[in-house]
Amino acid sequence: MHETSIVNSIFRTLEQEFEVEKLNNMKAIHLKVGILSNIEPRLLYNAYEAFHMTNPIYQKVKLEIEMTELKIKCEICEHITNVKNYRFICDNCKKPSKNVIQGEEMLIHKVEFDD
């Protein structure tokens, strides 16, 4: 289950970015996860809950996951299209495009703290 390593990686990243005092006041982590990222939100939430068992200092921190739409940018007309039903076709010129500009990411979008 790669979601466990993702959760560990999120906290390693946060621990590198913020001081211990700030981390102790963390209340929420907001992620943006693309539909093509190969991350299942339910499994990520489960891995996050399991992480709390071995790291009780983060038990009060909530995890929020926002799934991002799949978007392509046409190489021919440069139109941005929201991909539906995995049809990578430009809405404007009707040509196929493999230029994915959104939908593969897993980003720490925002971190909230009690101040």
- The pLDDT of residue 53: 87
Domain covering 2-113, topology: hypothetical protein PF0899 fold (3.30.2320)
Q: What is the pTM of this model?
A: 0.86
Q: How far is CA 41 from CA 4, 68, 88, 93, in A?
A: 12, 12, 24, 34
- The pLDDT of residue 22: 93
| In the predicted structure, residue 1 carries a pLDDT above the cut 60 | no
pLDDT in tens, 19-77: 999 999 999 999 999 999 999 999 999 999 999 888 888 989 999 999 999 999 999 99
Q: How confident is the model at residue 14 (pLDDT cuts 50, 70, 90)?
A: very high
How many residues does this entry show for the chain?
115
